[in-house]
């Protein structure tokens, strides 16, 4: 008789054992949202937005911060604020959500895709340094899933080569490197508040930055080119990338809950990693010793396919979903498609990117070799939504038992 639920066996966890939901809100959030609805201040530099912006910048340990429409736009605004434009090269990891590279295209820069480390899937800084040319203006590091790159080294490389360091913090609100929070470690930090993220408002984004000059520039860029505080004597060309008061209300509520949630997720992730480390054929991700608090957007780990007779990670995900009855937002899945194979990263499908034959050639994602990203996506990587990390120790144990059961029986006949 089959053991695995995917083959008709009994699932390890019953459907009635619920996993934590995401996103969440409380009565105070609903009250503030209703208050805004009843007021005549719904957007455009509203008081709820600016109170949140000040609070979140302070939380990140950054001198300045401001909201914008989403995380993609936050990266675009960061690049434009630093005057990065046509033909400038920007170093980007090959494993990330497509927005990190797409934002570079949106300012006519050239995203130079660099492979990642096998045990963190964060940018490989040896390869990043080797990819620097005369045209390189910036490096975007992504704090990916539940790992951070070596931020001391990233800063040193950028200083040595006179590059801007931009942090894509879309996954990791609150992560700390030697006690300093992400968003305060580079020139500009970029956050997403999309509904799946650890600080959500449906959609939304944020920039942290280090200087008044950069802050004012980002302010203008997100507000149709108006100068700081709406000054029309000092304008530039731009569009509307603002956030609404309702989104800010949800963010204010989420920020109050964030610290407690972060600690719970980090404790659960450490416990789960310790359980997974005992299972033959599972390789947890590496946590650098300088990481003093790790935030998680998705919990990820690797399977040792050589040891497991080349079983595919996709098959393991499907079998795990059948055992664990995760809610659909938390389904187990493979990590991001490498950007040289990504169905949503297609620079050549937009005519506006054809600014010259040279540019067209330079932005072709296929010219980059990303073997580690490919191995993670196609063979070894497994990712599950961070909401499971808001569960109990029993939930973590169920999860690990599910992984063990699947790996023990994955070769059984259907």
Ligand X SMILES: Cc1ncc(COP(=O)(O)O)c(C=O)c1O
Residues of this chain that interact with ligand X (CB under 6 A) are: 70-72, 96-97, 99-100, 142, 168, 170-171, 192, 194, 205
- Helix, strand, or coil here: 352? helix
Nearer to ligand X, 187 or 323 (CB): 187
Give me the least distance between CB of 200 and ligand X, in Å please. 10
Taking CA atoms, 166 is separated from 106, 139, 238, in Å, by 16, 6, 21
Nearer to ligand X, 79 or 170 (CB): 170
Taking CA atoms, 122 is separated from 2, 64, 142, 147, 167, in Å, by 39, 26, 7, 7, 12
- Helix, strand, or coil here: 57? helix
User: Sheet harboring 136-142: ordered strands across?
Assistant: 64-68, 205-209, 188-192, 164-168, 136-142, 89-93, 110-114
Give me the least distance between CB of 173 and ligand X, in Å please. 12
Give me the least distance between CB of 73 and ligand X, in Å please. 7
User: What is the CB neighbour count within 10 angstroms for residue 1?
Assistant: 7
Nearer to ligand X, 71 or 189 (CB): 71
Cα(319)–Cα(410) distance, rounded to whole angstroms?
Answer: 8
Nearer to ligand X, 95 or 269 (CB): 95
Residue nearest to ligand X (CB): 71
Give me the least distance between CB of 77 and ligand X, in Å please. 12
Taking CA atoms, 147 is separated from 129, 172, 325, in Å, by 20, 9, 26
Share in percent of the chain as helix, strand, coil (round to 5) = 40, 15, 45
- Whether 146 and 296 have beta carbons less than 8 Å apart is answered as yes
* Placement of tokens 């939304």 in the chain: 204
Give me the least distance between CB of 191 and ligand X, in Å please. 8
Give me the least distance between CB of 234 and ligand X, in Å please. 29
Nearer to ligand X, 59 or 121 (CB): 121
Cis previous bond, 123, omega within 30: no
Nearer to ligand X, 238 or 409 (CB): 238
Nearer to ligand X, 121 or 308 (CB): 121
Give me the least distance between CB of 169 and ligand X, in Å please. 8
């Amino acid at each position: 008789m089959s053991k695995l639920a995917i083959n008709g066996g009994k699932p390890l966890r019953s459907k009635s054992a619920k996993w934590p939901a995401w996103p969440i809100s409380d009565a105070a959030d609903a009250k503030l949202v209703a208050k805004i609805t009843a007021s005549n201040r719904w957007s455009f530099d509203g008081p709820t937005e600016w109170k949140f912006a000040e609070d979140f910048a302070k939380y990140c340990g950054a001198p300045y911060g401001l909201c914008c429409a989403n995380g993609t736009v936050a990266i675009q605004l960061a690049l434009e604020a630093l005057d990065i434009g046509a033909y400038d090269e920007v170093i980007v990891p090959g494993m990330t959500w497509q927005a990190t590279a797409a934002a570079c295209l949106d300012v006519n820069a050239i995203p130079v895709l660099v492979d990642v480390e096998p045990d963190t899937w964060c940018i490989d800084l040896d390869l990043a340094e080797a990819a620097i040319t005369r045209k390189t203006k910036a490096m975007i590091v992504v704090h990916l899933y539940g790992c951070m790159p070596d931020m001391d080294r990233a800063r040193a490389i950028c200083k040595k080569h006179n590059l801007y360091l931009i942090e894509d913090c879309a996954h990791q609100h609150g992560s700390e490197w030697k006690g300093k929070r992400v968003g305060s470690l580079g020139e500009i930090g970029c956050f997403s508040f999309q509904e799946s993220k650890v600080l959500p408002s449906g959609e939304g984004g944020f920039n942290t930055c280090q200087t008044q000059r950069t802050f004012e520039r980002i302010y203008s860029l997100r507000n149709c080119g108006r100068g700081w505080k709406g000054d029309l004597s000092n304008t530039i060309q731009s569009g509307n990338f603002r956030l609404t008061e309702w989104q800010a209300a949800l963010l204010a509520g989420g920020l109050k809950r964030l610290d407690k949630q972060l600690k719970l997720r980090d404790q659960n992730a450490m416990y789960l990693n310790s359980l997974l480390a005992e299972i033959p054929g599972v390789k947890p991700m590496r946590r650098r010793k300088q990481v003093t608090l790790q935030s998680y957007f998705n919990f990820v780990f690797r399977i040792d396919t050589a040891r497991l007779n080349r079983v595919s990670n996709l098959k393991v995900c499907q079998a795990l979903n059948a055992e664990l009855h995760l809610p659909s937002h938390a389904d187990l899945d493979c990590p991001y498609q490498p950007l040289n194979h990504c169905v949503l990263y297609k620079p050549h499908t937009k005519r506006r990117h054809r600014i010259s034959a040279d540019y067209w050639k330079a932005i072709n994602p296929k010219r980059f070799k990303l073997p580690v990203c490919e191995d993670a996506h196609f063979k070894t990587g497994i990712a599950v939504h961070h909401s499971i990390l808001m569960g109990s120790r029993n939930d973590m144990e169920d999860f690990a038992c599910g992984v063990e059961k699947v790996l023990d029986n994955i070769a059984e006949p259907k």
